[in-house]
Structure 1
Amino acid sequence: MAVRDLIQRVFQCDFSVMDSYMPEQRNMSKIFMFSHSRALCSPPACPLTPRGRLSNQTQCFRSCDARGLQKVEEACASYSHVVLKEVRFFELESLYPLLRDPALDLRIVHLVRDPRAVVRSKEQSAASFVRDNAIVLEQRNVPGGEVQYQSIQEICRSHIRINERAVLKPPPFLKGRYKMVRFEDVAFNPLREINAIYDFVGLQMTPELEDWIVTVTHGKGKGSARDAFDITSRNAKAVTQAWRKALPFSKVKKIQDACKGAMSLLGYRTVDSEKEQKNLDVDLLVPQEPFKFDWEAGTEEAPRR
């Protein structure tokens, strides 16, 4: 699989594999959101920010571009941990070769979110997700009015497949190397949840990073569509609830019907009326972490073989 091989090479800090995916002028600035990376805003990639300090993304964007990706490789190789964010894996089996690779101690943090909030978020940046929806739906010819519902249904099904494989039927090499995290848990208790992630991957939180996390999750407002891909200070709790005011109940009901089984697995309560949806005093998050799923209880199909 080309994507898996690309990921493996990047984990090994070999960025020559990016040649097929980037413009001919392969500057560091061509890497999506490079200025949000502390590693690429500090030595050896860039002298702007002292090593280990938090960087300023605006200053980094202006000052830290470099021709070629050699400095990116040097920065990557200088750290003990390499982190990749991937947004569209629909099953774990394709990653098995990486989990078996003795050169990689791969850990998987599976971030999930209330599907109603996912739909609302994608609507805010609809133009950016046209290609994403096509990938999710495997280029199928779907009526325009059904695209978002069939897309979120496929995403929900993937959550079930991944969680079942990792939690209920894990192969020996996967045990202890998968962690599912709910976006809402991070929003409501960011320090606890992020410290748990750091423990899971063998990192230690710093006081400076804790202060930054508190600042970025305790801002004002929910952010605008213009900020969709920016890391800005927002009210994280308000972000998790924004869909309850923004989406009509008719749409919420269709999302719930499409994702009923996944919502049960992930710990998201459904709403039965517009009044219940709009009442923010009604808690829709099941507090305990989900641990199993009964295929007979949900509407999703069984895992693909």
Structure 2
Amino acid sequence: MQCSWKAVLLLALASIAIQYTAIRTFTTKSFHSCPVPNPMNCSLNQEAESADRLCDESPTFAYNLSKKTHVLILATTRSGSSFVGQLFNQHFDVFYLFEPLYHVQYTLIPKLTQTKGSTDRRIMLGAGRDLLRSLYDCDLYFLENYIKPQPVNHTTDRLFRRGASKALCSPPVCETLTPIDIPLEEGDCVKKCGTLNLTLATESCKDHGHVAIKTVRVPEVNDLRALVDDPRLNLKIIQLVRDPRGILASRSETFRDTYRLWRIWDGTGRKPYNLDVTQLTTVCEDFLNSVSTGLSRPPWLKGKYMLVRYEDLARNPLKKTEEMYEFLGIPMDSNVERWIQNNTRGDRSAAKHKYGTVRNSAATAEKWRFRLSYEIVAFTQNACQQVLVQLGYKLVSSEKELKNLSISLVEDKDFSPFW
């Protein structure tokens, strides 16, 4: 009996040792995104199926096995997203990518014109989620499926706004730079660095502690649930919103041809009969749906979602940036603080690029009040009243009230993350 008892004990100890070794070996391996078919070789039906695939065949875990924090800045055009992106781009340990989904959108557009509405959206979002999952795993080769013309030997000169990413414009990715060249202006990056070697970019991504991506091509936070639920990613979402009146004013100024009819209305006082109001209402609907989801505090977004108003960031950029880094659990370094000091007190007229970030941030946030006529503001308030109220933006009832900057149109409102 004594021998039998000892044998059982030895077997038990051996079993524990084997399990421990297996767990150690398993958890130290890197995790890669699920393999997906080349989107250029798929039919529309296959793409639609891929859009809903959540990698069911892959193992999932109850906790994150990577120390990396993956950040997604969810925004819309002309809401201050380039500015927010730079708050992470400047961090020494963050690998930042500016709008990689641009390539998905423009590669799939010819195919999407053959389909309709919801199918378009499903295909776009499915492809976008697959790409984001790969990029967070530092698989930049997957991006080659969407770059036209196709990269040769993993090199390309066609990556959209490469210069907006510090990591892609510095050694070792940019091998030609000397210390005197750093930091580079966005427009000088391609000139001085030449073609982008995606192999070097992939290695640089792996060497950074965290990955941040900015996109204006995902309408709502609900569209990201498959990524948030993926325990391998440790994904945290910062949703940036802005007063829709300010967005409309900024778009009318920046995209002058696209928003020509709004500018005609603003200049003549007469609303064009063929005005495309969806250029405004789509923004408000997406904000309302997304913010309603976030503020309802669903369990799947617990500790994963932070709402940031551009106006709050513009009024107190350092404080708000510190709050964002605290939410992410990433220590904020001195490079970020220095960049804020240099880029929030400047003269906007000195900026070289229409998408630049040098500005007097507080003044920029209010500038729309002098760009839009009261008639357009009143129309916007009527079309977007629900989301304006939800986000704490005050309505104005007269031209005088609109132009009086001593009256703030931004309520003090707490949008702290929930844990």
TM-score (norm 1): 0.81
Counterpart check, 1:213 vs 2:356 = no
Name which of structure 1's ranges 274-283 and 151-160 shifts more when overlaid on structure 2. Answer: 151-160
Partner of 1:70: 199
Structure 2: distance between partners of 1:58 and 1:95? 32
Structure 1: distance between partners of 2:403 and 2:147? 45
CA distance 1:18–1:70, shift in 2 (3 Å): same
1:210-264: CA deviations, max 9, x gaps? 121121110124678x732223x21111211111111111011111111101011
Q: Give, as a single letter, the amino acid of the residue that structure 2 aligns with 1:146.
A: L
Partner of 2:380: 255
Name which of structure 1's ranges 236-245 and 28-37 shifts more when overlaid on structure 2. Answer: 28-37
Partner of 1:176: 303
Counterpart check, 1:198 vs 2:340 = no
User: 1:144, CA displacement in angstroms?
Assistant: 7.2
Structure 1: distance between partners of 2:398 and 2:203? 55
Counterpart check, 1:33 vs 2:158 = no
Q: Give, as a single letter, the amino acid of the residue that structure 2 aligns with 1:165.
A: T
Unaligned residue ranges in structure 1 (runs of 5+)? 131-142, 292-305
Partner of 2:286: 158
CA distance 1:276–1:67, shift in 2 (3 Å): closer
Structure 1: distance between partners of 2:327 and 2:201? 26
User: 1:49, CA displacement in angstroms?
Assistant: 6.9
Partner of 1:294: none
Give the one of 217, 230, 235 matched to 1:101.
230
Asked whether the equivalents of residues 113 and 183 of structure 1 are also in contact (C-alpha less than 8 Å), the reply is yes
SS at match of 1:227: coil
User: 1:190, CA displacement in angstroms?
Assistant: 0.3
Structure 1: distance between partners of 2:168 and 2:231? 27
SS at match of 1:84: strand
Structure 1: distance between partners of 2:132 and 2:302? 21
Partner of 2:127: 2
Structure 1: distance between partners of 2:240 and 2:132? 18
SS at match of 1:280: coil
SS at match of 2:210: coil
CA distance 1:72–1:279, shift in 2 (3 Å): same
Counterpart check, 1:189 vs 2:308 = no
Structure 1: distance between partners of 2:274 and 2:375? 13
- Please provide the CA RMSD for this pair: 2.4
User: 1:115, CA displacement in angstroms?
Assistant: 0.5
Structure 1: distance between partners of 2:169 and 2:178? 6
Structure 2: distance between partners of 1:240 and 1:98? 32
Structure 1: distance between partners of 2:172 and 2:258? 34
Larger Rg: 2
TM-score (norm 2): 0.60
> How many pairs are equivalent?
273
Asked whether the equivalents of residues 173 and 196 of structure 2 are also in contact (C-alpha less than 8 Å), the reply is no
SS at match of 1:107: strand
CA distance 1:55–1:81, shift in 2 (3 Å): farther
Counterpart check, 1:20 vs 2:145 = yes
1:258-303: CA deviations, max 9, x gaps? 1101011111101111111111111101012358xxxxxxxxxxxx
| 1:219-238 mapped onto 2 (5 Å cutoff) | 219-221=346-348, 227-231=353-357, 233-238=358-363
More strand by share: 2
User: 1:165, CA displacement in angstroms?
Assistant: 1.6
CA distance 1:270–1:250, shift in 2 (3 Å): same
Structure 2: distance between partners of 1:177 and 1:146? 38
Partner of 1:89: 218
1:83-109: CA deviations, max 9, x gaps? 111113223333122112121000000
Counterpart check, 1:146 vs 2:275 = yes
Asked whether the equivalents of residues 144 and 150 of structure 2 are also in contact (C-alpha less than 8 Å), the reply is no
Name which of structure 1's ranges 53-62 and 110-119 shifts more when overlaid on structure 2. Answer: 53-62
Counterpart check, 1:243 vs 2:372 = no
SS at match of 2:307: strand
Structure 2: distance between partners of 1:217 and 1:122? 21
| 1:281-292 mapped onto 2 (5 Å cutoff) | 281-289=406-414
Structure 2: distance between partners of 1:206 and 1:68? 28
Asked whether the equivalents of residues 267 and 288 of structure 1 are also in contact (C-alpha less than 8 Å), the reply is yes
CA distance 1:222–1:194, shift in 2 (3 Å): farther
1:134-174: CA deviations, max 9, x gaps? xxxxxxxxx97432x3222221121121122222151x232
